[in-house]
Structure 1
Amino acid sequence: MDVKLAVVFVLIVQRTVETTHSADLYENSSLERSSNPKKIRLSLQDTAEIQQCLLSAGDVGCGTFECFTNSSCEIRGLHDICMSFLHNAGKFDSQYFLQGKSFIKDALKCMAHGLRHKFSCVSRKCVSVKEMVFQLQHVCYNKHNLCSVVRENINVMIEMIHFQDLLPKGPHVELVNILLGCGEEVRVAITHRIHSQCEQNWGALCASLSLCLPDHTKIQTVPTLTSVPAIPSANFLPHAGPPLPQPDGQQV
């Protein structure tokens, strides 16, 4: 009788432990989901911190763009682009130095002013905040004639493009897509730059990828690869090419 009671007691304890463990797993999972809103929307704390940062930052310099660096929406790249523009300002051709300097000053001021005034009006959803940033890039870069500056200073601009900055998609990708619309000479220089850096980072893997670009432009490393249709999206990522043959003749 005592043995039976002991067995029943052990089973009850085991069932209780299993139930408690399952409940803890569910609770922890729910807590993790609720405490990880990074890919959905800005937290109230982040929103308040960004607004305070924007109010204290001026239109000159890169302080405004740094306000978004550590936000939960992970909008990286604005501050890096600003610093890169300022760092390379002295490299512009002397004949067009004033034009390049004027573009950098006016375009960055336009972006800073736009971020300060539009951020408080946009939804806290990350997709809305990012779309606002991308739209400002197009408006400010085009308004202050980015393409005119780039056509006369192609080498300076392509030095600012780094393959690793294009993943994940963000302000760097938007800048590249705008540059790709600045004429054939600029497009060829940029695609060559991206290709060479892709091979440096990914090696032979680049031979099996096609980088799809706007306006039905496609970079392709191997002429025999099957064509991949261009994607009209503002942001692009590499798309896989055809399956690679295995040593035994099978394909994966």
Structure 2
Amino acid sequence: MQARMGLLLFTLCCGVALAAAAGVAEQKDSRTTGDPAEKRMDRYRAVQIRVCLQLAEDEECDTFACLKNMTCDVEDDLNEICLDYMQTATNLDSHGKQFTKDILKCSALGIKSRFSSSNTSCRALQRMLISVQAECYRLHNICPVTETNLEHLVNMIDLHKLLFNAAYVEYVRGLFDCGEKVIAAIRSHLQVQLGPTLEIFRHLWQQSCTRESTTPATVSVDINITDETIQRGNWK
């Protein structure tokens, strides 16, 4: 239970970073909507993307590469996670390979059916990508695949990508529902990447749970994390 709470806190931290990035994207939308030249360029590129999507194969990463021509940088870089899926699939068993094929095809078809060349704002595209991913992870359960492919699936989680690519957040959310064994494996994997920083996350989570029943004076004392605590780096 503690592991799940800690990971949820970590995801919240990722969400804050992604929300900030989304704010930047929204500002970019507001800056460009009043410029006729920018509007014409957006429409032109949107038509190019539509043609690219029509020609792209439903499997592998062609569909996601089409979105690289957008005028804005969306936080869901599906092409990046697709390439990771394809690389990881070489080490998966037959069940894992089939899941990879299904999840990528589902995402590709979802994007093709929902992409609109008349609405290419960063916010609209971001909402569409999040919706497609969430739906595909609901339709194709990743949990049975973890029973025999856990190590390879967990190794797909990279801290930098998790912070700056929302597609990996959706991926980790899907793994969260697969039981304590999977959560423990993710925790161990992140510990290697984060080291002592996880102790700080754990401590902050504990403080957030007890803050309402603790006086401000006590909180002021409790949040002083010692060097010994940080160096210990143990999350028990």
State the Cα distance separating 1:228 from its structure 2 match: 3.1
Matched letter for residue 88 of structure 2:
N
Q: Which has the higher strand share?
A: 1
Question: Which secondary structure state, in structure 1, belongs to the residue aligned with residue 156 of structure 2?
Answer: coil
Matched residues, percent identical? 28
Residue identity in the other structure for 1:227 = Q
AA aligned to 1:55 is Q
Q: TM-score, normalised by structure 2?
A: 0.64
Aligned residues: 180
**Mapping 1:48-197, distance limit 5 Å:** 48-71=47-70, 72-92=72-92, 97-120=93-116, 123-197=119-193
C-alpha deviation, 1:180, in angstroms:
1.0
Q: 1:123 to 1:36 in 2, by over 3 A?
A: closer
1:169 shift after superposition = 4.8
Query: Unpaired runs of 5+ in structure 1?
Result: 1-32, 211-219, 230-240, 246-252
Q: Report which of the two structures shows the higher radius of gyration computed on alpha carbons.
A: 1
**Deviation of the 1:243 alpha carbon:** 6.4
For 2:163 and 2:223, the matched residues in 1 are separated by 22
* Backbone CA RMSD of aligned residues: 3.2
Provide the rounded CA distance (Å) in 1 between the counterparts of 2:224 and 2:48.
48
CA separation of 1:183 and 1:70: change in aligned 2, threshold 3 A: farther
Alpha-carbon distance between aligned partners in 2 of 1:101 and 1:183, rounded to the nearest angstrom = 21
Superposed displacement of residue 244, structure 1 = 6.5
Check the 8 A contact 2:75/2:164 in 1, yes or no: no
Give structure 2 stretches of 5+ with no counterpart.
1-29, 210-221, 227-236
Distance 1:225 1:103, change over 3 A: closer
Are 1:198 and 2:202 counterparts?
A: no
2:14 corresponds in structure 1 to none
Question: In proportion to residue count, which structure has more helix?
Answer: 2
